[in-house]
Amino acid sequence: MPEVRIIDLRSDTVTKPTQEMREAMYRAEVGDDVYGDDPTVNKLEEMAAEKVGKEAAVYVPTGTMGNQTAIMAWTSRGDEIVVEEQAHIYMYEVGGPAVLSGVQVRPIRGRLGIMDPADVKAAIRAENIHFPKTSLICIENTHNRSGGCIVPLDNMKAIYEVAHEAGAKVHLDGARVFNAAIGLGVDVKEITKYADSVQFCLSKGLCAPMGSIVAGPKDFVSRVRKYRKLLGGGMRQVGVVAAAGIVALTKMVDRLAEDHANAKRLAEGINKIPGLTVEMETVQTNMVAVHTRGLAMDGPDFQKLMKSHGVLFNADLPYRVRMVTHNDVTAADIDEALERIAQAVRNR
Ligand code: TLP
């Protein structure tokens, strides 16, 4: 029997570096980055800061380390930070804020990842001997657990103003902020201007093999750099991968639009399969949240069924799976995946 070709929709993190990245990595000039001697890392950090309109930037191994070092740099032990209740920082970072920063997380309910500025305002603590200090508000754009939804600019602006009135900072978990920018049709600076700091990933839709950027004011970035070292993230001749990050930033942003078009194509196709539903209003970028209740099959069972047909995705709620489009799946792969799903559902 011929082997089934795998169509991997688990995440955009599965993307392989492009040929151009591999060549840039091969040629990269390097040095010891802990001494600030790696010219490729220095170039990436400068480019990245400029791109998101911030004074400075630092290259970190992962988005998780980027978010956590940012929280460490903005807070003091015993502070409180406000996050949306489905945020990656709260759901998937292993309790990092408690462990690393010693802060308490105050999750507030959003709609499709969008917090109501009035709720943020109400959550910010007044001065009182009993209360922790609210030092940081975190926004996630695009918002992963809502299926890649975009937090609108007016909402970000309102939260930024509410935070600043109360003397708190805003950190943007912009793991996929370039997807948000492409989805909104704006320069990414239009989004990042409503945050004091931003973390974004080079390793997701932008296809670099690893790495994230934390950008913000100079003194903040110096603190992040030191916390990166504390966590063991002081890397040496890391220009060898930062070179791929430069290609990611210069060559891979505009093509995210293709992933968004493929996500729409996938969502529309799924909605034609009896038993599966996607709420089209949530299909705004490169993710598709598929509800499986109509199949009388839970997410993990549906995931298992399709794995046996070579279509991979993750189950993220009891009756929901997440499919993510990216550079390594074409429109033809989407059609093939739809065909396999329709057939598997018919024959189950
Ligand atoms: N997200 C991963 C998983 O961890 C869930 C994925 O496949 O989507 N912020 C956001 C919004 C993210 O989605 C992620 C990764 C991170 C931060 C962390 O980035 P890494 O994986 O580089 O630590």
Residue 27, amino acid: R
Q: Give the pair of three-digit tokens for residue 332.
A: 């033809």
What are residue 225's phi and psi, to 5 degrees? Answer: -60, -40
Could you report the per-residue pLDDT of 237-288, keeping only the tens digit for each?
A: 999 999 999 999 999 999 999 999 999 999 999 999 999 999 999 999 999 9
Q: Give the pair of three-digit tokens for residue 59.
A: 């290259």
Closest atom of ligand 1 relative to the 92 alpha carbon: 4
User: Which pTM value belongs to this model?
Assistant: 0.98
Cβ atoms of 224 and 296 closer than 8 Å: no
Q: Give the pair of three-digit tokens for residue 41.
A: 């890392």
C-alpha 144 to ligand 1 mean position (Å): 8
pLDDT at 24: 98
Residues 6 or more apart whose Cβ sits within 8 Å of residue 73: 197, 220, 223, 224, 227
| Band of pLDDT at residue 2, cut at 50, 70 and 90 | low
11 lines ligand 1 (CB under 6 A): yes
Could you report the per-residue pLDDT of 8-43, keeping only the tens digit for each?
A: 999 999 999 999 999 999 999 999 999 999 999 999
Cβ atoms of 66 and 60 closer than 8 Å: yes
| Nearest to 197, CA basis, from 49, 9, 34 | 49
State yes or no: pLDDT of 317 exceeds 60: yes
| Nearest to 32, CA basis, from 239, 197, 225 | 239
175 lines ligand 1 (CB under 6 A): yes
Could you report the per-residue pLDDT of 162-214, keeping only the tens digit for each?
A: 999 999 999 999 999 999 999 999 999 999 999 999 999 999 999 999 999 99
Kind of pairing between the strands at 56-60 and 212-216: antiparallel
Return the H-helix or E-strand segment holding 200.
Answer: strand 197-201
* Residue 262 to residue 179: CA distance in whole angstroms: 13
DSSP assignments along 266-333, one per residue: HHHHHHTSTT-B--GGG-SSSEEEEE-GGGT--HHHHHHHHHTTTEE-EEEETTEEEEE--TT--HHH
Rounded to the nearest 10°, the torsion over CA 177, 183, 185, 190 is -30
User: Hey, is 344 helix, strand or coil?
Assistant: helix
* Residue 192 to residue 213: CA distance in whole angstroms: 13
pLDDT at 91: 97
Name the residue at shortest CA distance from atom 17 of ligand 1: 63
State yes or no: pLDDT of 301 exceeds 90: yes
201 lines ligand 1 (CB under 6 A): yes
Return the H-helix or E-strand segment holding 169.
Answer: strand 169-173
62 lines ligand 1 (CB under 6 A): yes
Mean pLDDT score, 281-299: 97
173 lines ligand 1 (CB under 6 A): yes
C-alpha 173 to ligand 1 mean position (Å): 10
Cis bond upstream, residue 142 (ω within 30): yes
Q: What percent of the chain has pLDDT over 70?
A: 99
User: Hey, is 135 helix, strand or coil?
Assistant: strand
Closest atom of ligand 1 relative to the 65 alpha carbon: 23
pLDDT at 169: 98
Could you report the per-residue pLDDT of 73-85, keeping only the tens digit for each?
A: 999 999 999 999 9
State yes or no: pLDDT of 1 exceeds 60: no
* Residue 144 to residue 160: CA distance in whole angstroms: 21
Could you report the per-residue pLDDT of 91-100, keeping only the tens digit for each?
A: 999 999 999 9
State yes or no: pLDDT of 3 exceeds 90: no
Return the H-helix or E-strand segment holding 144.
Answer: none
Return the H-helix or E-strand segment holding 264.
Answer: helix 256-271
State yes or no: pLDDT of 289 exceeds 90: yes
Q: What is the mean pLDDT of the chain?
A: 98
